[in-house]
A and B are shown apart, each in its own frame.
Chain A
Amino acid sequence: MILTNFHLLVGILLFSIGVLGFLIRRNLLVCFMSIELMLNSVNLIFVTYSNMLKSTIGLMYVFFIMAVAAAEVSIGLAIIILLFRQKGTVDMDSLNTLKG
């Protein structure tokens, strides 16, 4: 039980680090990594509950998320590379062309 709580706490901690990292950091690559961190923290929580409730549904979701995350990484990285080629930077403060 204590172990379960510990796993959940780790998950929450990782998620919070991800959120804060995304909000605070200005480097696009770091932000991207923060997003991945959030996804994986969610995975951890899914696995924990799956184990706790003796249900495989959580596991199923984990695989889905992994697949989606893999796809997202490949596209996201491609976008970041293209952005870098265009602008010569990955600093998010300089990427505000949608400013109203």
Chain B
Amino acid sequence: MFRYIVFIPLFPAIGTFLNGIFGHRFTKNAVHTVAITAIGLSFLFSLYAFFQLISLPPHARVIEETVYSWISTGNFSVNVAFLLDPLSSIMLLVVTGVGFLIHIYSVGYMHHDKAYWRFFTYLNLFVFAMLLLVMGNNFLMMFVGWEGVGLCSYLLIGFWYEDNNNANAGKKAFVVNRIGDFGFILGIFLIFTTFGTITYRDVFDKATMMLPYGGTIATAITLLLFVGATGKSAQIPLYVWLPDAMAGPTPVSALIHAATMVTAGVYMIARCNVLYSLAPFSLGVVATVGAITALFAATMGLLQRDIKKVLAYSTISQLGYMFLGVGVAAYSAGVFHLMTHAFFKALLFLGAGSVIHAMGGEQDIMKMGGLRRYIPKTFLTFFIGTLAIAGTPGLAGFFSKDEILWQAFSSPHGHPVLWLIGAVAAGMTSFYMFRLTFLTFFGKERMDEHTKHHIHESPNSMVIPLMILALLSIIGGYVGIPEALGGGNHFHHFFEPVIRHVGEPKEEHFSHALEYGLMATSVGIAVIGFLISYTFYIKNPELPERLKNSMAGLYKLIFNKYYVDEIYEFVFVNGCKGLGTLLWQKFDVLVVDGIVNGVAKVVEILGETVRKLQTGYVQNYAVGILLGIVVILGIFIF
């Protein structure tokens, strides 16, 4: 009855195939019709699967469909099989739903691009890989999807490869991700050697029986997997590729580097919640890394001047929130934020794309301003996105962010310090997002006359996805209203079958009053962020300049993103180059070449000696034959 879920990843694969093989002969209309139809069908099937799933009783909401046996050797066997449960159904809806909107948006945004068909091929391929990642029922399929989305990310960041910077950004993303993937695959190896299987269900069943709470193996597995997550989801220390990834087309930034691919790490941890729950140390690491990333990236976002870079740092920061959520064992809260974030961050990126489109390619917010009069629809939707991400009560971001902050405070794995870091980061988020909005849409018009003359609202194919996403950013949070606010927290209960409770410390109970208090505090901090932003960029526009001059050192440090890129360049890139040079000049030249040349030399000397036997006189050879016969006869006789 669930056999049809096999088609969900199949449609984008077919789309990729058609556009990839025949795309260069298709008209633009045909190209996007194929791509959008493929993903649209996937979305409809996902939607149907979702509704069918919620019509089942909660304990029956885990469905596995085997397609075929992929690898079967000795005691290692892997099936190509798909898993449909609350977690993957949410991911399916996010990936195909947001992906569908972004495909439509791309029709308008990429309209003039000469490699139109290539773009949609990659986009479909990405969706296919992402669906494999979230639907596979074993770690190998997750890994295949994991690498597939990495490949598509690389291809799409470097989509405009004529510019060397873009190609380099793609390479950087790929290399940094490889480092993470290295840890990820080691984690999978360790899972296989420990449990003898890599199918989720078997692994998790065995984990609860075999591994002790807080044991070394569980900790090692989860930390290795988390290394993969830091690469893919841009957490400290492997976040450096994401800001550079903004070199790609804006729909790509929205789909891959905001809404879906970068959340793969969160999905992975939520999927492996059994293992993480067994390893409190790893949970601590995840939560700490998440919280620090949330704060650190937020500070870097404060002063960026590129509209997409601000959003990129914001994405890193929000991903940090998700990791904070899953790191305090509040898996549903993390995935809830993943979902709402997908709505409003895709909205913000697409809005930014619409702004860039209107400005004729300009991305520097210092050269914008007052745009709300020219592109009102974009402004309205972008503003809704800003309100949502800043945590305005009633919008999607508020519920999910607040759930995470509350869990960071109250969960047995949580800590008030984590809550504090999260709340401060929320204030910064509010500041930089309103700064972005004010600088772009309000205040003086700082662009030149020529650009100003050409500002135009984007076509409907771009505006309509914006509106739908804006609507989702408003209502998306209402599926998870916390109980303290009189809601049922449906999201959490829906998520329940995915999570297995193992060896957890006793739940502490806090009063609702405390929850209200914390909620009010975080909203208060966000309001402070808004007010500072308002003072700086609307009421008193020369104030930031004065502040910049009085704190020049700090400004420079943050503006240059703490020089992390430079440090990495110096330590790792130059280190690798230095090591490579050393190995080349010493090891390769002396040892490897020495062995090869030595062998040749020995053969040469031997040959030089032996060649003297070849006199060229037949009689000499005949003497040899004769002597040989004499010797043989001698042996026979004596």
Cα of A96 to Cα of B626 in the assembled complex, Å: 20
B: number of interface residues (CB 8 Å)? 12
CB-nearest residue of chain B to A28: B618
A23 with B623, Cβ < 8 A, contacts A92-B617, A96-B616, A96-B617 known: yes
CB pair A100–B617 under 8 Å, yes or no, is no
Cα of A22 to Cα of B622 in the assembled complex, Å: 8
* Nearest-Cβ distance from residue A35 to partner chain B, whole angstroms: 10
A5 in the interface, Cβ–Cβ < 8 Å?
no
Report B-chain residues with C-beta under 8 Å of the C-beta of A100. 611-616
A99 in the interface, Cβ–Cβ < 8 Å?
yes
Contact with A along B601-615 (1 / 0, CB 8 A): 000000000011111
CB pair B618–A92 under 8 Å, yes or no, is yes
Report B-chain residues with C-beta under 8 Å of the C-beta of A19. 626
Q: Which residues of B579-613 have CB atoms within 8 Å of chain A's CB atoms?
A: 611-613
CB-nearest residue of chain A to B618: A92
* Nearest-Cβ distance from residue A39 to partner chain B, whole angstroms: 15
Q: Which residues of A26-69 have CB atoms within 8 Å of chain B's CB atoms?
A: 31
CB pair A99–B619 under 8 Å, yes or no, is no
CB pair A23–B622 under 8 Å, yes or no, is yes
Report B-chain residues with C-beta under 8 Å of the C-beta of A98. 614, 616
Cα of A94 to Cα of B618 in the assembled complex, Å: 11
CB pair A99–B626 under 8 Å, yes or no, is no
Report A-chain residues with C-beta under 8 Å of the C-beta of B622. 22-23
Report B-chain residues with C-beta under 8 Å of the C-beta of A99. 614-616
Q: Which residues of A58-100 have CB atoms within 8 Å of chain B's CB atoms?
A: 92-93, 95-100
CB-nearest residue of chain B to A34: B622
CB pair A22–B611 under 8 Å, yes or no, is no
CB pair B611–A23 under 8 Å, yes or no, is no
Report A-chain residues with C-beta under 8 Å of the C-beta of B611. 100
A22 with B617, Cβ < 8 A, contacts A100-B611, A100-B612 known: no
* Nearest-Cβ distance from residue B608 to partner chain A, whole angstroms: 10
* Nearest-Cβ distance from residue B227 to partner chain A, whole angstroms: 62
* Nearest-Cβ distance from residue B210 to partner chain A, whole angstroms: 71
CB pair B616–A22 under 8 Å, yes or no, is no
Cα of A97 to Cα of B615 in the assembled complex, Å: 9
A93 with B617, Cβ < 8 A, contacts A100-B611, A100-B612 known: yes
* Nearest-Cβ distance from residue B191 to partner chain A, whole angstroms: 63
Cα of A95 to Cα of B615 in the assembled complex, Å: 11
CB-nearest residue of chain B to A19: B626
Cα of A92 to Cα of B618 in the assembled complex, Å: 8
Q: Which residues of A1-25 have CB atoms within 8 Å of chain B's CB atoms?
A: 19, 22-24
> Interface centre among A24, A31, A96, by most B CB within 10 Å?
A96
Report B-chain residues with C-beta under 8 Å of the C-beta of A97. 616
CB-nearest residue of chain B to A92: B618
CB-nearest residue of chain B to A93: B617
Report A-chain residues with C-beta under 8 Å of the C-beta of B613. 100
* Nearest-Cβ distance from residue B492 to partner chain A, whole angstroms: 88
Cα of A95 to Cα of B618 in the assembled complex, Å: 9
Q: Which residues of B381-424 have CB atoms within 8 Å of chain A's CB atoms?
A: none
Report A-chain residues with C-beta under 8 Å of the C-beta of B615. 96, 99-100
Interchain CB contact (< 8 A) of A23 among B612, B614, B616, B619: B619
Cα of A4 to Cα of B294 in the assembled complex, Å: 113
* Nearest-Cβ distance from residue A57 to partner chain B, whole angstroms: 22
Cα of A100 to Cα of B616 in the assembled complex, Å: 7
* Nearest-Cβ distance from residue B351 to partner chain A, whole angstroms: 83
CB pair B614–A92 under 8 Å, yes or no, is no
* Nearest-Cβ distance from residue B369 to partner chain A, whole angstroms: 88
CB-nearest residue of chain B to A98: B616
Cα of A4 to Cα of B555 in the assembled complex, Å: 121
Report A-chain residues with C-beta under 8 Å of the C-beta of B614. 98-100
* Nearest-Cβ distance from residue B198 to partner chain A, whole angstroms: 62
Report A-chain residues with C-beta under 8 Å of the C-beta of B626. 19, 23
Report A-chain residues with C-beta under 8 Å of the C-beta of B617. 92-93, 96
CB-nearest residue of chain B to A35: B622
Report B-chain residues with C-beta under 8 Å of the C-beta of A24. 619
Q: Which 3 A-B pairs have the closest CB atoms?
A: A100-B614, A96-B616, A99-B616
A-binding residues in B (CB < 8 A): 611-619, 622-623, 626
Apart from A19-B626, A99-B614: 11 A-B pairs, beta carbons within 8 A: A22-B622, A23-B623, A92-B617, A92-B619, A95-B618, A96-B616, A99-B616, A100-B612, A100-B613, A100-B614, A100-B616
A-B contacts, 23 of them at CB < 8 A, read: A19-B626, A22-B622, A23-B619, A23-B622, A23-B623, A31-B619, A92-B618, A92-B619, A93-B617, A95-B616, A95-B618, A96-B615, A96-B616, A96-B617, A97-B616, A98-B614, A98-B616, A99-B614, A99-B615, A100-B611, A100-B612, A100-B613, A100-B616
